Amino acid sequence: MNIKTHTNIKQNLGIVICLDKHQRDLSELMERYPMLYSDAHFVWLDRWSDNTLREMPALVIQRFEMIFWSLLCTVSVSAPFLFFE
């Protein structure tokens, strides 16, 4: 992987981590894995609506597909043919 690709991935990669704020070892997790809060955005929700819970998986998949195809278009491929089903 070249530096440009690495930078592109780092700039465009988004990760969503859902944690229970009442989890017993939450502070331990934050201390153990500082990447969870360094350069991160927190959204504290007490409860998601049923509608949001139904819509969220499709939104995450849609976002993943967008990122996947944009990255695929920027990667040079040495193989003569690629087949996608």
pLDDT above 50: residue 2: yes
- Distance CA(55)–CA(1), nearest Å, equals 35
- Please write the tens of the pLDDT for every residue from 20-56: 778 888 888 888 888 777 777 777 777 888 898 889 8
- Distance CA(1)–CA(75), nearest Å, equals 9
pTM for this model (two decimals):
0.39
The mean pLDDT value of the chain amounts to 77
